Structure 1
Amino acid sequence: MTTAMPRPAAPPLASPAPTPFVRTARPDEALALAVLSRPFVRSGALRERPLSLYAAHAADFLVLEASEGTLDGCVGLRAYPGDAGEGDERAGVVYNFCVAAHRQGSGAGAGLLRAVLATAHARSLDALYTATTGGAGLFLRYGFTQTTARHAPRSWVDSLDPRRNAQVLVRRR
């Protein structure tokens, strides 16, 4: 006769960690947006923006909210209908894109970019522009291509600092 040894009870399944979600920022989160952006401003990757800009344009920002309520990433999207360099194109500009250091490499940036693309589509924007001093790899993977600033919205182009030597990218619908 063989006697089977009793198996230890399986440990209970761990509940999955709540996943962060992307939503529109609120005006009362201006300070959190500025704090999240600060390391990128210090490194030269982002331009410094006053707290008042974050408060006044909070609706431009999509944020990645962690389960405990902190902001782990943000990206601005401003529409410039009819202000494009050529024709009556409805253009938008992606700006102030940053992800907290502890979330980089986790897909958080890609999630924010997908949310921006969906928002731009819902707003019927024909083209999205951005300027980056970085490698632009994420943007290129999502269909952005290099372009010149002359096709972008005039008021945005006028705000670019030529000393930053940023590359301008576009993604058309």
Structure 2
Amino acid sequence: MITATPRLGTVPSRTTLPAPLRVRSARRGDAVALAALSRPFVRSGALRERSLSLYASDATDFLVVEAHGGTLDGCLGLRVHPADPARGRGPTGVLYNFCVSPRRQGCGVGAQLLRAALAQATAQSLYALFTATTGGGDLFLRYGFAPASAGLAPAAWANSLDPRRNSRVLARML
């Protein structure tokens, strides 16, 4: 019989654990912070440019993660489109302007925002969620999204996609 004393690692104290992420709905007063958070992604071509007035008018579409100092660490817009009785579909949602501060990428902020958006979409009994990405969309794929035709998405949104951006449409049925 071989016996060994297990080596116990140090368990981090409660104070060293990262604070839980708090996702909240954005407010009109968050428009400047939404624009500032999005700006580097607009410059890189990952996001379309939006005016400050558009962020203000659409602020209630957004879920945000706020840092302790009041800056935003991430945001994700969820716009609800009405049912399409001609297609036999209920209301659908479109996820847009998804970004996480570079200093918080890889820390779970994006996953937390996406889970909150999925919960909100489910609570609103949405038929499906759509998004368009110029990147790989790995996070979306991990959460059950799959490539889809833009023709399945709400027409108003699908018609607004810029073909020069070469976006990939992803969808998840709810």
User: How many equivalent residue pairs?
Assistant: 162
2:49 corresponds to: 48
Q: Which residue of 2 aligns with 1:151?
A: 152
Distance 2:129 2:52 in 1: 25
Code of the aligned partner of 2:35: A
Unaligned 5+ runs, structure 1: 1-11
Q: Which residue of 1 is the match for residue 105 of structure 2?
A: 104
Deviation digits for residues 96-140 of structure 1 (CA, Å, limit 9, x no counterpart): 000000000111100000000000001110100000000110000
Partner of 2:115: 114
Superposed CA deviations along residues 52-87 of structure 1, whole A, max 9, x for unmatched, are: 111001100000011222110000000002248833
Identity %: 60
Q: TM-score, normalised by structure 2?
A: 0.88
| Secondary structure of 2:132's aligned partner | strand
CA–CA distance in 2 between the matches of 1:68 and 1:54? 21
Aligned residue in 2 for 1:92 = 93
- Pair member with larger Rg: 1
Alignment match, 2:129: 128
In 2, Cα distance between the equivalents of 1:44 and 1:84? Answer: 36
Conserved in 2, the CA contact under 8 Å of 1:84 and 1:90?
no
Long gaps (5+) in structure 2: 1-12
TM-score by length of 1: 0.88
Check 1:89–1:30 CA distance in 2 against 1; reply closer, same or farther (3 A cut).
same
Contact 2:95 2:131 in 1 (8 A): yes
Match for 2:33: what amino acid? A
Provide the residue aligned with 1:23 in structure 2: 24
